[in-house]
Amino acid sequence: MQTDSSFTFVLFGGTGDLSMRKILPALFEAHRAGGMLADSGKIVAVARHAADRGEYLQWVNEHVKPHVSKKGLDETAWASFLERIEFVNIDLGKAEDFVHLRDAVKDLPGIRVFYLATGPSLFVPICHALASVGLNENARIVLEKPLGYDLKSSNAINDAVGEIFAEEQIYRIDHYLGKEPVQNLLALRFGNALFEPLWRREWVESIQITIAEELGVEARGDFYDNTGALRDMVQNHLLQLLSIVAMEPPHSMDSDSVRDEKLRVLRALKPIDPRDIGKVAVRGQYHSGVIRGTSVPAYATESGVRPDSTTETFVALKVEIENWRWAGVPFFLRTGKRLADRVAEIVVNFRAVPHSALGASALRAGANRLVIRLQPNETIRLYCLAKQPGEGMNLASVHLDLAFDQFFREGQMEAYQRLLLDVINGRLALFVRRDEQEAAWRWVEPILNEWKASNKPPKPYAAGTWGPAASSAMLAQHGTCWLEEEN
């Protein structure tokens, strides 16, 4: 991915956790690869927690190096990467300070990218301050989630940002859309005659999408207790993955063609009747437990969390799409903290053959499935039945693997690296358009409102398990189970 696109990348929240763990390591990997970033490109970090450039670079050395890839830190490449970095110390709450930022970037080349790795409460003040010093021209702005607390607050932020930046300048980032297997899902479906004819209600029995975390809320207790799993993960990550899985073939891979098809999926989501929420939505909260031999505390005792909190740390949903391709096919979405494993995957369960001359094993659910693993190891695995060696026609499950790190010699590109390069090069396809975001909030809000109105506490589950038993029971009502339960 060669580029001659010169740029000035302005990183707000330049000393924050996201900048240290994801953004700067991704930019370094692009720099180290050679040819991905224009030689003239500059990175301008903005923060209050460093006095000058020297102190900031010392901070970067200490906090970014541990997060670069394990293939070895090239000190020469690292030193030349640091030469790209400038630093501006300003108070984001003071619009008058942005004059210093304007002076720092006015002679730097290329398109300006403003990455807001800050809390959402600062999005609008930063945008207004940028406009006040004329920095909203020839610019792109990247907004991190969460973008609002509900539809109303999301619209308020989008309205305010939209007064200053045109829609084609706004990049609402969802890092799951930058993951290699998600890109390969598009290639798998739309580049191979084998799969597209099967990708519909006649041949698909059910689809599961899971994003599970072993970690708890860590240092984000204050934020998470006012957010919960439905807002933090379902409204964005899970619904975006759902739309990629279920979308119709786009006219082309240009940004609006792809996002138009995703939007059609989100608008076709069957509204959940409040009277049915108990049947199709499970919310849980972790209690104390053991994960990989280590005792972990209950959510309610985590730092920053209210002791009587009813915030959910787990959500499982049964979702339906009301269109001809997917009518009647259940999509099961699941996410949670302090679960048994860290895994993100999409499981497509194909229907059993209508009649088998080979015995009952050929008719069992899940005999044919496609598993797309997003993390921790990125693979695509196709399960099918084959005859066991020996006498008789005894069938066993076998699988075909596409392990990217084994098949492709060049290293995989991390999600943030791909997405940051897309911003610099003006590619919008992997970013969320405003109407997509609004459609997701419209579908999620009735669930939030019903949970709030019912005032029922989340179902408890022990840390280190796969969530409340009600999650498994919900799938059992449809004659299926979560992938890990089959064994």
| Binding positions for substrate | 175, 179, 213, 232, 337
Q: How far is Cα 412 from Cα 410, in angstroms, rounded to an integer?
A: 7
Please give the Cα distance from 451 to 455 (Å, whole number): 6
Q: Which residues of 121-139 are buried (b: 16+ CB within 10 A; e: fewer)?
A: eebbebbbbbbebebbeeb
Judged by DSSP in three states, 408 sits in coil
Binding region: 48, 91-92, 145, 175, 179, 213, 232, 337
Helix spans in 208-325 (H): 221-225, 228-229, 239-246, 255-268, 277-280
Strands ordered across the beta sheet of 204-212: 395-403, 379-387, 369-375, 343-350, 204-212, 331-336, 314-319, 281-287, 459-462
CB-CB contact of 205 with 347 (8 Å): no
d(CA 195, CA 224): 39
Q: Please state the residue numbers annotated as binding site for NADP(+).
A: 48, 91-92, 145
Catalytic residue chosen out of the listed positions 49, 67, 100, 237: 237
CA distance 68 to 62: 12
CA angle 190, 195, 196 (to 5 degrees): 50
Q: What are the DSSP E strand ranges found in 17-129?
A: 42-47, 85-89, 111-116
Q: How many residues can be counted in the chain? A: 487
Say whether 237 is catalytic: yes
Indicate which residues carry an active-site annotation: 237
